[in-house]
Structure 1
Amino acid sequence: MEGEIQSIPDIAKHDARPKVSGIEDLIYGSLAGMMGKFVEYPFDTVKVRLQTSESQVFSGTIDCLKQTWQNEGFRGFYRGLTSPLVGAMAENALAFYAYNRIQTAIRKIADTPNEADLSLPQLFASGGLSGTLCAFVISPVELVKCKLQVENVQGYGSPNASTATKVRFTGPISVVAHLLRTQGIAGIYKGITPTVARETVGVGFWFGAYELVCRRLLQLKQRRVAQDGGQPRKLAKDDLGPAGIVLAGGCAGITYNLTSYPIDVVKSFIQTADVRQPSANAQAVQERPGILSTVRTVYSRGGIPAFYRGLGITLIRAFPANAAMFMTYEYLSRLSAELRK
């Protein structure tokens, strides 16, 4: 089907959008990440708490929402936001920057003209490599986020009401200070291996799904243009309206989570081991839980379904959050192009 677009004559050829510069990728990507994080964070808090808490703490998504509201109010859903907000801005800036620069490198290696579309496998590869780079930025940020999201929920349901609100960390800086004091630099990167695996797989499918849906929508639009007797021309993403970008971005977010969620569960378990077991001795706290031992621990809590606990609310938040991210990036890029014209 992809050939249907590429074989169209260049009559009334669409004016190509000026190429987005590296600086613009960084700026637009960071703003897109900020927008998406504000939308998704309350859902992410519930997801992480469901992933890492014992089954007797929360019976499910609704119970987690209810207990978080009762114990912490509205602010509880945004606990630990500062670190991931900065991280989301940095991650998305790097993701879009690396994704577009890697595509440029692939074009040079494959001797592909700039105006020609890359194949979907090439786009998946570009996304996967950009995800690998992003992992080293996002891993320390997610470590701090997960600890702040989880540390105060283990006492929920305790007869002693004060247990639920007793916390060790006051914010991101206190978490970082504690890690550096007790574990050194290595402590900041606890969980880096599953984070690299998750981002490489997830971001590859994230960008790949987005590009795939955009191409399918453009093919449908091209057929309508031909049926209406319009002049044939090659369509580009700029020809997609807000509904198309929202659909493609939302599908990208869902695909990311469906493909990487079990890895994310393992990552969250490793990063929250010490706050979930605060009574452990100092040596045990400093030890890094192994990936295989963590997989066995998660499996012992409910078999395969345990690797998907919290997936429902994650998919609910994935569509609007990722739609907001791609909408922000696409329309800022279009605005920039129009201003330059």
Structure 2
Amino acid sequence: MEDVESQIIEAVEQHDSDSRLRVLKDVAAGTCGGIAQVLVGQPFDTTKVRLQSAPPGTYSGALDVVTKLLKSEGPLAFYKGTLTPLVGVGACVSIQFGVFEGMKRLFGAHNKSNGISSDSLTYPQYYISGSAAGLANSMLASPIEHVRIRLQTQTNTVPRQFSGPLDVIRQLRQASGVAGVFRGITPTLLREGHGMGIYFLTYEYLVNKDMRDNGIKRTEIPGWRLCIYGGCAGYSVWMTAYPFDVVKSKMQTDALDPAKRQFSSTIDCFRKTYLASGVKGFFRGFVPTILRAAPVNASTFYAFELAMRAMG
């Protein structure tokens, strides 16, 4: 009897150990994907934010932003505020992938217990898993993106408004407390909750279709096809969630002093953006974002899949 009990205890402990190790691998692979995402996407993101937040008429388009930025601030200006996202986005993407993979296992176990194949989930299950990942990530992504955007939109005027990421946080807290650091959290939740649901659903659909059509395992899918699927996932998220990102950027580049702010809330920002520019106002900066979507998300998923294969 004691032998049976010891075997059960050992099996449970082994399961817990394996589960913790799986989570660590998911998070580590997600971090690799996040670092790749930042290094590839930062120049595109800087261009996008300048277009989104500048007063109407400042730039004629993405190419105009690039030209003026190179002329007045030099090529390194495209990597302004990179340190914050390099650390932060690595953490954000690790949360996204960690939560998503955890939700996949949860739904897989649920399906198996109900006599359904656990090899792949239903489309709603993939969407819910992605949404959960996005919502979990939002609480970290919102302040990180706020700090990055403040630095990205800072010009070379002397003296500079912010000396670095910590100074941005200090000034935001002085002006509005902790709430100031988290300004833009509502549109971030909307963007991430819906966007990540579509994002992961698109990628998993394409991966599962490839495995089914070609009779291969996930680890046997060539890297170039993973890149294509990642790029498609990137297109899907921005085509469905971009207006939320515009509103978030507008709120996060508004005046530090609450008394001088143009937008009092998320709804107010939506309303004023529409009154000023109509529907097209919610798609300013869309071109550099779409150009960015393919290489950035291709590199993100490719780095994640390679890391997962390497760790087993």
Q: TM-score range by the shorter chain?
A: 0.7 to 0.9
Residue aligning to 2:209: 216
State the shift of 1:330 in Å.
0.5
Residue aligning to 1:314: 289
Residue aligning to 1:260: 241
Tell me: CA distance 1:177–1:114, structure 2 relative to 1, closer, same or farther (3 Å): farther
- Verify the 8 A CA contact 1:298 1:306 in the aligned structure 2: yes
Residue aligning to 1:4: none
Residue aligning to 1:137: 140
1:77-92 equivalence runs, <5 A: 77-92=78-93
Q: Given the alignment of the two structures, is residue 270 of structure 1 paired with residue 251 of structure 2, yes or no? A: yes
Residue aligning to 1:148: 151
Q: Which moved more, 1:177-186 or 1:107-116?
A: 107-116
Q: Measure, in 2, the Cα distance between the counterparts of 1:300 and 1:166.
A: 35
2:169 is aligned, of 136, 155, 176, to 176
- Report sequence identity in percent: 31
Q: Measure, in 2, the Cα distance between the counterparts of 1:218 and 1:151.
A: 47
Residue aligning to 2:65: 64
Q: Measure, in 2, the Cα distance between the counterparts of 1:38 and 1:96.
A: 18
- Verify the 8 A CA contact 2:109 2:118 in the aligned structure 1: no
State the shift of 1:220 in Å.
3.3
TM-score by length of 1: 0.81
Residue aligning to 2:120: 117
- Verify the 8 A CA contact 1:273 1:289 in the aligned structure 2: no
- Verify the 8 A CA contact 1:146 1:271 in the aligned structure 2: yes
Q: Which stretches in structure 1 are left out of the alignment for 5+ residues?
A: 1-17, 153-161, 223-234, 276-281
State the shift of 1:221 in Å.
2.0
Q: Measure, in 1, the Cα distance between the counterparts of 2:81 and 2:35.
A: 14
Helix, strand or coil at the partner of 2:294 = helix
State the shift of 1:166 in Å.
5.3
Tell me: CA distance 1:64–1:165, structure 2 relative to 1, closer, same or farther (3 Å): farther
1:237 is aligned, of 183, 202, 218, to 218
Residue aligning to 2:9: none
State the shift of 1:293 in Å.
1.4
1:182-221 equivalence runs, <5 A: 182-221=175-214
Amino acid at match of 2:137: C
Q: Given the alignment of the two structures, is residue 44 of structure 1 paired with residue 25 of structure 2, yes or no? A: no
1:292 is aligned, of 267, 282, 297, to 267
Q: Given the alignment of the two structures, is residue 330 of structure 1 paired with residue 311 of structure 2, yes or no? A: no
Helix, strand or coil at the partner of 2:121 = coil
Residue aligning to 2:94: 93
Q: Measure, in 2, the Cα distance between the counterparts of 1:269 and 1:88.
A: 20
Q: Measure, in 1, the Cα distance between the counterparts of 2:197 and 2:247.
A: 19
Amino acid at match of 1:305: K
State the shift of 1:73 in Å.
0.4
TM-score by length of 2: 0.88
- Superposed CA offset, 1:168-199 (max 9, x none): 01111110011122211111111111101100
Q: Measure, in 2, the Cα distance between the counterparts of 1:93 and 1:121.
A: 22
Tell me: CA distance 1:99–1:283, structure 2 relative to 1, closer, same or farther (3 Å): closer
Q: Measure, in 2, the Cα distance between the counterparts of 1:335 and 1:107.
A: 23
- Superposed CA offset, 1:239-293 (max 9, x none): 2101210111111111111111000001111111116xxxxxx441479621121
- Verify the 8 A CA contact 2:176 2:258 in the aligned structure 1: no
Tell me: CA distance 1:283–1:330, structure 2 relative to 1, closer, same or farther (3 Å): closer
- Verify the 8 A CA contact 2:85 2:145 in the aligned structure 1: yes
Tell me how many residue pairs correspond in the alignment.
292
Residue aligning to 2:6: none
Amino acid at match of 1:194: P
- Superposed CA offset, 1:37-83 (max 9, x none): 10000000000110111122111111111011111101111111111
Q: Measure, in 2, the Cα distance between the counterparts of 1:120 and 1:204.
A: 10
Cα RMSD for the two superposed structures: 2.0
Query: Larger % of helix: which?
Result: 2
- Verify the 8 A CA contact 2:52 2:249 in the aligned structure 1: yes
Q: Measure, in 1, the Cα distance between the counterparts of 2:286 and 2:189.
A: 20
